[in-house]
Amino acid sequence: MIQIDDTIVSLDIIEENFLCNLCACKGECCVEGDSGAPLLDVEVKVIEDLLPVVWDDLSDPAKKVIEQQGVAYEDHDGEMVTSIVNGKDCVFTYYDETGVCKCAIEKAYREGKTDFYKPISCHLYPIRLQKYKEFVAVNYHRWRVCKPAVELGNKEGLKIYQFLKEPLIRCFGEDWYNELVLIAQEYNKQNQDKNE
């Protein structure tokens, strides 16, 4: 474990390789699972305000769910999460012409229609945050649907913290990320020295 400020970072974040491979997984992480994506309280309001911007990209079943229960609900763990359609798709998913599941919120961001990229839990994935009284745990969530991402990450030699540079800076700040990079470099150097 690595401690940076009030975060405890799992060594997996600097040891394991990962690079999303949407062509292989088809965005399955936005479909599978037992609940929607975790949301911060402030994100619920932001997403509600974004509805007119993304509405035309949403499926009819997603629109019905949003009309009935809103953009989010409280899951079995007591967390606010995005609403889902038929126990599967996040209400903000859409499918491109190749059948890849994508995010309507991210699409609006890329088109310059909003400055909100997408929920931080989605942006950080496969990192999951767990808040405790004294600290925030930064952990790697292993999931079978991400096997292609692990394989591609291994092929390219890209570590999780490198792949997720942008969302980690968004979440914790540039100073925090730079410290993580320095720790990772020192850790990897020590391991290399041991193996020589």
Answer yes or no: do 73 and 146 share one domain.
Answer: no
How many domains is the chain partitioned into structurally?
2
Answer yes or no: do 29 and 85 share one domain.
Answer: yes
Answer yes or no: do 195 and 169 share one domain.
Answer: yes
Residue 86, Ramachandran bin (φ over 0: left; ψ between -120 and 50: alpha; else beta): left
Direct distance between the N- and C-terminal alpha carbons of the chain, in angstroms, rounded to an integer: 24
Answer yes or no: do 86 and 33 share one domain.
Answer: yes
Answer yes or no: do 46 and 107 share one domain.
Answer: yes
Q: Which residue has the tokens 């997408």?
A: 118
Q: What is the pLDDT of residue 11?
A: 95
Answer yes or no: do 7 and 39 share one domain.
Answer: no
Answer yes or no: do 145 and 63 share one domain.
Answer: no
Q: What is the pLDDT of residue 196?
A: 57
Question: What pTM did the predictor assign?
Answer: 0.87
- Provide CB contacts within 8 A for 158, sequence distance 6+: 17, 18, 19
Q: What is the pLDDT of residue 49?
A: 95
Answer yes or no: do 14 and 58 share one domain.
Answer: no
List the domain range (segments joined by +) for residue 179.
1-18+134-196
Residue finishing a domain among 75, 95, 125: 125
Residue 58 CA to residue 95 CA, distance in Å, equals 10
Answer yes or no: do 13 and 105 share one domain.
Answer: no
From first to last of its 196 residues, the chain has per-residue pLDDT tens of 899 999 999 999 999 999 998 878 887 777 777 788 899 989 999 999 999 999 999 999 999 999 999 999 998 888 899 999 988 889 999 988 888 889 999 999 999 999 999 999 999 999 999 989 899 999 999 888 889 899 999 999 999 999 999 999 999 999 999 999 999 999 888 877 666 5
Q: What is the pLDDT of residue 128?
A: 93
Residue finishing a domain among 98, 125, 152: 125
Q: What is the pLDDT of residue 110?
A: 95
Answer yes or no: do 52 and 118 share one domain.
Answer: yes
Answer yes or no: do 92 and 180 share one domain.
Answer: no
Residue finishing a domain among 125, 153, 171: 125
Beta bridge partners of 128: 139
Answer yes or no: do 44 and 118 share one domain.
Answer: yes
Structure tokens at 27: 């965005």
Residue 126 CA to residue 186 CA, distance in Å, equals 23
Beta 84-85 vs 101-103: how paired, if at all? unpaired
Residue 193 CA to residue 196 CA, distance in Å, equals 5
